[in-house]
Structures are given as C-alpha cells and as structure tokens.
C-alpha cells in the first residue's frame, strides 16, 4: 500500500484538528496540557509552532486507542498523523 503524502499546510491542519479533538474531551485535554507544560493562556501561541503541533501528534501516536478514535472521527488513514508529525518536526522537508 502506498504511503499517503502531505504538504506542510495539510500536516498543520491535521494537527489543529487533533487539538480540537483533544479539547472536546476535558479529561484528555487536561492530561495533554499537563504533559506538554502548556497552559490555556499560552496555547494559542504554542499552536503556531510546528514543533508544538508535532508534539501534539506524537501525543496521539503514543496512545493507540486515542489515535484510532481520532482517525476514525476524522475518517483518515491511521498513518497520516505519524506522517504529519514527521513533516512538522522537519518543516524544511524529509
């Protein structure tokens, strides 16, 4: 099976959808904020950073049930968040 390809912009959109997904569940969102060290006041600024967005996607990737819930809700291939995280970690290209 051919691996999906993403642009930087598509990777950012996936990550922002993941942020929205987490924000929709107070328990999951609180856990993510605690692990990331970001508070609600700094979230908007952090979300503008490709590195933060990559970390957000990596958070999903560390929990298979969370990842599968997100990808099912978004109706996307479960490999896409990993591809997006890698792209956001290396914005100049891989």
Question: For residue 57, is it within any domain?
Answer: yes
Residue range of the domain that includes 70: 8-89
Give the DSSP per-residue string, 4-58.
Answer: P---HHHHHHHHHHHHHHHHTSHHHHHHHHHHHT--HHHHHHHTT-HHHHHHHHH
- How many domains are contained in the chain? 1
What is the model's pLDDT at position 3? 72
Question: For residue 56, is it within any domain?
Answer: yes
pLDDT by residue for the chain (94 residues), tens digit each?
677 789 999 999 999 999 999 999 999 999 999 999 998 889 999 999 999 999 999 999 999 999 999 999 999 999 999 999 999 998 665 4
What is the model's pLDDT at position 92? 63
Q: Helix crossing, 80-89 with 64-74: angle to 10°?
A: 100
Question: For residue 55, is it within any domain?
Answer: yes
């Amino acid at each position: 099976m051919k691996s999906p390809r993403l642009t930087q912009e598509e990777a950012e959109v996936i990550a922002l959808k993941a942020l929205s997904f987490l924000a929709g569940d107070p328990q999951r969102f609180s856990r993510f904020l605690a692990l990331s060290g970001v508070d609600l006041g700094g979230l908007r600024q952090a979300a503008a950073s490709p590195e933060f967005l990559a970390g957000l996607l990596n958070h999903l990737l560390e929990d298979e049930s969370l990842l599968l819930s997100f990808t099912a809700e978004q109706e996307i291939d479960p490999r896409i968040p990993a591809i997006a995280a890698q792209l956001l970690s290396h914005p100049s290209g891989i």
